[in-house]
A and B are shown apart, each in its own frame.
Chain A
Amino acid sequence: MNTKYLRTEPIDILLRDDESLVLLPPDLVIRLSPIATAIHQALAHPMDAAALAAVVQRRFGSPPGDQSAEEAVTLMVAELCDAGILMVAPRD
């Protein structure tokens, strides 16, 4: 089974245009780019990297260079997990 991801529960989210600020406990504020914001919004429900890449690709197109959308999304998801924005979703 593919790993699914889910966003952690923020205290608050501020959206302006395509960007967002996320406030995590106790008072850590993190600025998300438009792509990170789209990922964060999509992961209100568990999703694996392939499904997430499809969401991002539909909205932002393919990444430049040889990197696939899934590879690029996987890297970004790892960074967001490290920052405490996302987590691996519990298995059903």
Chain B
Amino acid sequence: MAGTYASRVETPRHLRLNALGTTLSVEFGDAVPLEYIAVVAHAWKRCIDAPPPAGDHPAAEPLVLRQPSSSDPDHHGAALQQLSRDVTLRLIAAQTGRLLMFHAGAVTDPETGRTLVFIAPSGTGKTTLSRTLGAHFGYVTDETVGIDPRTGRIHPYPKPLSIITGTGRHKTETSPDSLGLLPHHTAPRLANVILLDRQPNATSATLEPLDVFTAIEGVVPQSSALNRLPRPLNTLAELLEARGPVHRLTYAEASAALPVLARLMEVST
């Protein structure tokens, strides 16, 4: 595997990730095993293969990894998770003051680009839902959605997904390709926002339309750097109101949410 993916590395110790409307350079010190770099390149392949953002865009602060990661694949998990966190923080920092950004997953209609954004705190089901929906719709991200507030254009961040594998409790950063997730549309645009409300005892998946104030009260705590945008509440309200009501999705299992969200995707404008 190392040889296969090493060929995708721009230089053996340098990766360039195109995500969230910006470019992030990741450099690996000499002490970092090439096997680990190959694993990173595999996990982040969609961001590596994505075209660089067009036009004026900010540059993310380069990420330099000097600490050696064990060549034992069993020990890559924690390092890969930390890498995901570091990449996300740098991308968000680069787009601060430019994009509306939310802790959210998103999937897009591969043909039309209509995109559902589902917002929820960490650890409440975004990745599981992204994985389920991404087998039917294009996978945009499971972590951070960046939206151009003027146009509703979404800047994809198709990062690896943190998946619990085997019988253990450890999470593995898994490539969306390895999970069979569909690629996203080339120009995803916001169609609808959903606030996730995972209730283990819910007997069915239900959608409830929300008034704009209730929606914003739910959205703001899951935003990043909202206060750095001009007129942030009004900007957010205008974006949401132009696309129909935000919905609250109450559900227990992602499989039950799939048909409900598929119908919403169909009727979204």
Q: How far is the CA of A31 from the CA of B237 in the complex (A)?
A: 14
B26 to chain A, nearest CB (A): 29
Chain B positions within 8 Å of A44 at CB level: none
Number of interface residues of A (CB under 8 A): 13
B168 to chain A, nearest CB (A): 36
Q: Summarize B's interface: helix, strand, loop or mixed.
A: helix
Q: How far is the CA of A27 from the CA of B234 in the complex (A)?
A: 14
Q: Is the CB of A27 within 8 A of B221?
A: yes
Please tell me if B232 contacts chain A, counting CB pairs below 8 Å.
yes
Please tell me if B264 contacts chain A, counting CB pairs below 8 Å.
no
User: Chain A 25-55 against B: per-residue CB contact (8 Å), 1 yes, 0 no?
Assistant: 1110101000000000000000000000000
Q: Is the CB of B216 within 8 A of A12?
A: no
A40 to chain B, nearest CB (A): 14
Q: How far is the CA of A14 from the CA of B239 in the complex (A)?
A: 13
Known interface pairs A11-B232, A31-B213; A23-B227 also in contact (CB < 8 Å): yes
Q: Is the CB of A21 within 8 A of B227?
A: no
Q: Is the CB of B233 within 8 A of A14?
A: yes
Q: How far is the CA of A26 from the CA of B221 in the complex (A)?
A: 10
Task: Mark out the residues of chain B between 212 and 269 whose CB falls within 8 Å of any chain A CB in the assembled complex.
Answer: 212-213, 216-217, 220-221, 223, 226-227, 231-234, 237
Q: How far is the CA of A12 from the CA of B216 in the complex (A)?
A: 13
Chain A positions within 8 Å of B231 at CB level: 12
Q: Is the CB of B237 within 8 A of A14?
A: yes
Chain A positions within 8 Å of B217 at CB level: 21, 29, 31
Please tell me if A16 contacts chain B, counting CB pairs below 8 Å.
yes
**Additional 11 contacts, C-beta under 8 A, given A12-B233, A21-B213, A23-B233:** A11-B233, A12-B231, A19-B213, A21-B216, A21-B217, A23-B220, A23-B227, A27-B220, A27-B221, A29-B216, A29-B233
